[in-house]
A and B are shown apart, each in its own frame.
Chain A
Amino acid sequence: MNKNFSEASFEELRVALDEKQVSSVELTEYFLGRSKKLNEKINAYISFTEELAMAQAREADLRLAKGERNPVLGMPIAVKDLILVKDHTCTAASKMLANFKAPYDATVVAKLKQAGAPILGKTNLDEFAMGSSNETSAFGASKNPWDLTRVPGGSSGGSAAAVAARCAPLSLGTDTGGSIRQPASLCGITGIKPTYGRVSRYGVVAFASSLDQVGPMCSDALGSAAVLEAISGKDMHDATSASAKVPSFVQLAKDFQSQNKLKGLRVGIPREFFEAGLDKEVEKTIRESLSFLKSQGAELVDIELPHTKYSLATYYIVCTSEASSNLARYDGIHYGHRTQKKTMNLDELYSLNRREGFGEEVRLRIMLGTFCLSSGYYDAYYRKASQIRTLLREDFKKAFEKCDVIAGPTSPTTAFKLGEKAGNPLQMYLSDVYTLSTNLAGIPGLSFNVGFANNLPVGLQLLGPWWRDDLLLGVAHSYQTQMPSSVKGVTP
């Protein structure tokens, strides 16, 4: 095959590995080299795990030579630096964990190692995954490969930028309120937040436990399906992981496409996703992609998600409340940043460790969550938000009686300028306005590139009923088969 692997699709790389036209060592070396070179421009990685990657690649080649096959065997992958890889630092892009070495593998990493996917390095993110632009990273923001003056989105911005610049054919992100889908949209790639419980959260730095989910990012749907297949499943170390059967997502996506299942598929268009705030050029691109789905036989159905306007407030109450509790563990005693200042008592020690270790946005969210859970305000905020969460969930249940999947924009705008929204939290939070309700309800959501507006990528978001991650991958794969130009990468 052509040795310029950055131009190959996931399937082309898969076939090349399986037919021994290329080795995993060759691929891993190529992507490591490209990553190191381009990282000066896009800052997508916080660290590289080169030795691990090369050892894994050599082993993968032996397994391939023996005739073993699985969708990710030998295929390099970058991992968000929120996910533990044993013996390597896991910083969560925070000064708090700048020197933290993971004592064990996250379940998703253990599964990837078992399946034989070489781990290239740890990718940049907003500190503790709290942000929509990557700008809160303690290691400097990652940049959008399509325009280096713009954000890649967040929080999985490094994972998205790495794939968009073809520094990795695959990456892992996490999504608490849009952190896989929004950067996927802004960087022009494919990313899926699986159904809550599909993937184990063990060994993933916790942000908001009832919302967090790990998911794959790739240029296309087939690669995403391959990773999802590898990382899904019940894990005794995560009581919220589900025992739902893990299907072959790759095969299901291929079947969906080859059997033309777009024909007759009812695609729900939520009125609330096309109201004020949506950029006109983005809307035009989204509407064109919907017309294309229609031309392929899909039936567009108008639906309503009436509580959407409350999702932003509901989400930020739930996520900051959970974060304030989850981040209480960072005391600077068992692990994490320890102040050099002299302190008089334990409380002072904790308070200084945390003041110095956490960045501004993280501290703001901890304070906000502390407020929402504090005596006298719990009912008005946390409990109220949890009740509205029920209503948002019911909106989706009702919608899925009228349609098979829901489609709309992933983000109201294309990638914005670095610094444009920093310092204004509400403005920043609004960039996730279409993705938040997905996590509150626990349903799967996928974003994939459907074109450009103002020369920047635009993602179409697909939402599906609980456990129908396969449908979303099928629709995206069908689109990408017809529109191969939509999965192109870029060299910044």
Chain B
Amino acid sequence: MSLNIDHLAKLARLSLEAGDHEKVEKKIQSILEHFNQLSQVETSHVAPFFHASPEMELREDTPESPVPVEELMRNAPDAFEGCFRIPKVVGEIES
């Protein structure tokens, strides 16, 4: 199987630095080799089990605001007048 580390990094929004490639590829490759033993198990008639919860009870969809907006904004690395500020993006062409 071909492992495209650049593609994975792009999907995961993780920039790579010099030396990352080889290191990550080697580690992922060895772990995937271990994962591949699962192909030995016959599962064609087995339903997947995605969640350990026996019940999923939904609550009424009623608006509540337990935490004031200002308090939530306090953790923002860059906030201005109640808005999250980011670098200028308008006019940029994304590859």
Please say whether chains A and B are actual partners in one complex: yes
The chain A residues found within 8 Å of chain B, CB to CB, are 99-101, 103-104, 196-197, 210-211, 234, 236, 239-240, 242-243, 307, 309-310, 312-314, 316-317, 324, 328, 331-338, 342-352, 354-355, 358, 363-364, 366-368, 370-371, 374, 380-381, 383-391, 393, 425-426, 439-442, 466
A116–B24 Cα distance when bound, in Å, is 47
Residues from chain A with Cβ under 8 Å of B43 in the complex: 384, 387-388, 391
**Other A-B pairs beyond A101-B75, A354-B12, A389-B50, 8, CB < 8 Å:** A103-B75, A240-B51, A243-B57, A345-B94, A347-B13, A355-B14, A371-B28, A389-B48
A331–B24 Cα distance when bound, in Å, is 21
Q: Cβ of A338 and Cβ of B78 under 8 Å apart?
A: yes
Q: Which of under 10, 10 to 19, 20 to 34, or 35 or more describes the interface residues of B?
A: 35 or more
A350–B34 Cα distance when bound, in Å, is 31
Give the residue name and chain of the B residue nearest to A355 (CB): B15
The A-contacting residues of B in range 61-95, CB under 8 angstroms, are 66-67, 71-72, 74-78, 84, 86-87, 89, 92, 94
Residues from chain B with Cβ under 8 Å of A393 in the complex: 49
> Does B11 sit within 8 A of A, measured CB to CB?
yes
Distance between A368 CB and nearest chain B CB, rounded to angstroms: 6
Q: 23 A-B pairs, CB-CB below 8 angstroms?
A: A210-B50, A211-B52, A239-B53, A239-B58, A240-B51, A310-B37, A316-B35, A317-B38, A332-B77, A333-B77, A346-B89, A347-B94, A354-B14, A364-B28, A366-B14, A367-B12, A367-B14, A385-B38, A386-B50, A387-B47, A387-B49, A391-B46, A440-B52
Give the residue name and chain of the B residue nearest to A237 (CB): B59
Residues from chain B with Cβ under 8 Å of A197 in the complex: 52-55
Distance between A105 CB and nearest chain B CB, rounded to angstroms: 10
A338–B76 Cα distance when bound, in Å, is 9
* With A345-B94, A439-B52 as contacts: A370 and B38 at CB distance below 8 Å: no
Q: Cβ of A335 and Cβ of B76 under 8 Å apart?
A: yes
Ranked nearest first, the 3 interchain pairs of A and B with the lowest CB-CB distance are A442-B52, A338-B77, A386-B48
Distance between A447 CB and nearest chain B CB, rounded to angstroms: 19
Q: Cβ of A312 and Cβ of B77 under 8 Å apart?
A: no
Q: Cβ of B84 and Cβ of A236 under 8 Å apart?
A: no
Give the residue name and chain of the A residue nearest to B15 (CB): A351
A312–B37 Cα distance when bound, in Å, is 10
Contact with A along B16-42 (1 / 0, CB 8 A): 110000001001101110110111010
A440–B52 Cα distance when bound, in Å, is 7
**Secondary structure of the B side of the interface?**
loop
Residues from chain B with Cβ under 8 Å of A211 in the complex: 52
Give the residue name and chain of the B residue nearest to A210 (CB): B51
* With A103-B75, A236-B59, A338-B77 as contacts: A354 and B48 at CB distance below 8 Å: no
Q: Cβ of B54 and Cβ of A363 under 8 Å apart?
A: no
Give the residue name and chain of the A residue nearest to B35 (CB): A313
Residues from chain A with Cβ under 8 Å of B54 in the complex: 197, 242, 442, 466
Residues from chain A with Cβ under 8 Å of B17 in the complex: 355
Distance between A130 CB and nearest chain B CB, rounded to angstroms: 13
* With A239-B58, A336-B77 as contacts: A387 and B46 at CB distance below 8 Å: yes
Q: Cβ of A351 and Cβ of B48 under 8 Å apart?
A: no
Residues from chain A with Cβ under 8 Å of B59 in the complex: 236, 239
Distance between B42 CB and nearest chain A CB, rounded to angstroms: 10
A355–B2 Cα distance when bound, in Å, is 23
Question: Residue among A101, A345, A352 with the most chain B CB within 10 A?
Answer: A345
A100–B76 Cα distance when bound, in Å, is 9
Residues from chain B with Cβ under 8 Å of A349 in the complex: 86-87
Residues from chain B with Cβ under 8 Å of A99 in the complex: 75
Q: Cβ of A334 and Cβ of B37 under 8 Å apart?
A: no
A370–B55 Cα distance when bound, in Å, is 28
* With A210-B51, A335-B75, A367-B8 as contacts: A103 and B67 at CB distance below 8 Å: yes
Q: Cβ of A317 and Cβ of B35 under 8 Å apart?
A: yes
Residues from chain B with Cβ under 8 Å of A100 in the complex: 75
Distance between A444 CB and nearest chain B CB, rounded to angstroms: 11
Residues from chain A with Cβ under 8 Å of B16 in the complex: 355
Q: Cβ of A103 and Cβ of B74 under 8 Å apart?
A: yes
Q: Cβ of B57 and Cβ of A337 under 8 Å apart?
A: no
Q: Cβ of B77 and Cβ of A441 under 8 Å apart?
A: no
Q: Cβ of A386 and Cβ of B49 under 8 Å apart?
A: yes
Distance between B6 CB and nearest chain A CB, rounded to angstroms: 11
Distance between A193 CB and nearest chain B CB, rounded to angstroms: 12
Give the residue name and chain of the B residue nearest to A439 (CB): B52
Q: Cβ of A388 and Cβ of B41 under 8 Å apart?
A: yes
Residues from chain B with Cβ under 8 Å of A337 in the complex: 77
Distance between B70 CB and nearest chain A CB, rounded to angstroms: 10
* With A344-B92, A389-B49, A426-B31 as contacts: A310 and B38 at CB distance below 8 Å: yes
Residues from chain A with Cβ under 8 Å of B72 in the complex: 103
